[in-house]
Amino acid sequence: MLEIKGLNAWYGESHILHGVDFNVQEGEVVTLLGRNGAGKTTTMKSIMGLVGRREGSVKFRGQELADKMPNQIARAGIAFCPEERGIFGSLSVTENLMLPPIVAPGGLTVDEIYAMFPNLKERARTAHGTRLSGGEQQMLAIGRILRTGAKMLLLDEPTEGLAPVIVQQIGRTIREIKKRGFTVLLVEQNFRFAATVADRHYVMEHGKVVDMIPNRELEANMGKLHDYLGV
Amino acid sequence: MIMIFGIPGPLLFGQLLLGLINGAFYAMLSLGLAVIFGMLNIINFAHGALFMMGAFCSWMLLNYLGIGYFPALILAPLIIGAFGIVLEKTLISRLYKLDHLYGLLLTFGLALVIEGLFRNAYGSSGLPYRIPQVLTGATDLGFMFMPNYRGWVVLCAAVVCFATWAIIEKTSLGATLRAATENAPLVQAFGVNVPRLITLTYGGGIALAAFAGVLAAPIYSVNPNMGTNFINTVFAVVVIGGMGSILGSIVTGFALGVVEGLTKVFYPQASATVVFVVMVIILLTRPRGLFGKAA
């Protein structure tokens, strides 16, 4: 569904990605693991066209996106949930939820999103999205892209800094949306969490993908993974 | 005759009304500046020149094409707004990645060029534009006579300001605008064509200025300097209200017009400077402006 080949990216003068290659099949949950600064977030931003300069190929459903603008990439059916969550303080919770335009039919309805995140329904009248707790903001950030009909989701560290009970809820959400046929590319620092949701893991180092580990072989590769991640 | 604070009532109310009229123009102009600043991060010094172009556009529509005031109230903002879109597309959009200062210099230069061209073509003494027949005359309000056209201007300005506020604060288009003001790249990554939104925002802000220009044409003579006369005060209004605040620019615009009017009654010598005195006080005590959010 998503095929990345030889992806290079720059922020100003600094060359961050040095030829990233990987692919995500339809219906899969795939993670990008790696230490801080390995290029995981930059990979996601490059897919969305949010870096200064990029080269290489980003193919989505056979369509080349590497030369497209972020809005065209979103319209092709990829939705992005950034690491900093990107909740807008000048918008109410409901306005945040309704902000991303519908890009394709088949998204979740607002009621389905509220059923998945009951907290959001209670907080729907909150006037400023940033008044929500960190966990609620994360749910809002995920919930609002489920509405758009995009079937490929890029989630950048959705569990970062959240309480264990919220992390579990996000894990349930990812398994639930996978069941509904969404495809997910997930950036994670926490591979124990990643192991509970993912089909495959790519390991990144110094702006490259250096390894691929299927989730069922994760246990056998624990030693290698510890070396990669330095944990 | 009624006396209030030793001032004859009609004089006081007359100045209040004049203040309200000036305030209406301050509000409409600073509103456009606030919208443009919020979205484009450009301090649009060309705003006064485009306001003047709105007034000239209505004069030209009347004198060259025989199109009267009321159609001009719609047409001139559309024409000048389209001109603004061309400016944004060809010039201003090149500056978004640079410091604020470049946008300020470019739009300041544009203002000088536009005003110079009009001065060359039409002189600086001013051209008359008559009040439309139905809005001539005055109404007795009991405590004073109100010229109908002046009442019309205040009404129009209030409606336009309220409509702009409602669009920005209460519609989904407005929510998208506010979100893009906060984090444009993310809004674009949701599938919104942000560059086009920016262009249309500039066009909209300019259309507001041109609308104010048409309203102003029958009150002030149509002349190339009419924008400059207003814009200095309008920038003070923007600073007092808080950069980029929609509600702030509306309320502050009307309020400062009234303050100016009252000063004319009680201490005329200070009427030209009172707005700037207020600005200094606000900057000293609340640098982000009355309605500005903390940085």
CA distance B267 to chain A (A): 41
Q: Verify whether the Cβ–Cβ distance A99 to B190 is below 8 Å.
A: yes
**Partner-chain residue, chosen from A88, A98, A103, that has the shortest CB–CB distance to B191:** A103
**Partner-chain residue, chosen from A49, A90, A145, that has the shortest CB–CB distance to B182:** A90
Q: Are strands B7-8 and B3-4 parallel, antiparallel or unpaired?
A: antiparallel
CA distance A2 to chain B (A): 17
For residues A102 and A147, the answer to whether their CB atoms sit within 8 Å is yes
Whole domain around residue A160: which residue ranges?
26-54+68-229
B142 Cβ under 8 Å from any chain A Cβ: no
In a domain, A63, yes or no: no
- The DSSP call for residue B126 is -
Q: Verify whether the Cβ–Cβ distance A50 to B185 is below 8 Å.
A: yes
In a domain, A213, yes or no: yes
Rounded-to-integer distance, Cα A219 and Cα A227, Å: 14
β-partners of residue A54 are A9
A95 has pLDDT over 80: yes
Banded model confidence at residue A126, pLDDT cuts 50, 70, 90: confident
For residues A86 and A150, the answer to whether their CB atoms sit within 8 Å is no
In a domain, A112, yes or no: yes
Rounded-to-integer distance, Cα B75 and Cα B79, Å: 6
Does CATH number 1.10.3470 belong to domain B21-285?
yes
Rounded-to-integer distance, Cα A175 and Cα A193, Å: 12
The per-residue pLDDT for B265 is 85
The per-residue pLDDT for B80 is 97
Comparing A99-108, A162-171, A172-181, B7-16, the range with the smallest average pLDDT is B7-16
In a domain, A98, yes or no: yes
CATH of the domain at A82: 3.40.50.300
Give this complex's ipTM: 0.91
Among B residues 167-186, those touching chain A with beta carbons less than 8 Å apart:
172, 175-176, 178-179, 181-183, 185-186
In a domain, A13, yes or no: no
* Domain spans in chain B, listed from the N-terminal domain onward: 21-285
Rounded-to-integer distance, Cα B253 and Cα B240, Å: 9
Q: Which residues of A154-182 are buried (b: 16+ CB within 10 A; e: fewer)?
A: bbbbbbbebeeebbebbbebbeebbeeeb
In a domain, A144, yes or no: yes
Domain count, chain A: 1
From first to last of its 295 residues, chain B has per-residue pLDDT tens of: 667 777 777 778 888 888 999 999 999 999 999 899 888 888 899 999 999 999 999 999 999 999 999 999 999 999 999 999 999 999 999 988 888 889 989 999 999 999 999 999 998 888 989 899 888 888 888 777 888 999 999 999 999 999 999 999 999 999 999 999 899 999 999 999 999 999 999 999 999 999 999 999 999 889 999 998 888 889 888 888 887 788 888 999 999 999 998 898 888 888 888 999 999 998 899 888 888 775 5
The per-residue pLDDT for A231 is 61
In a domain, A9, yes or no: no
In a domain, A60, yes or no: no
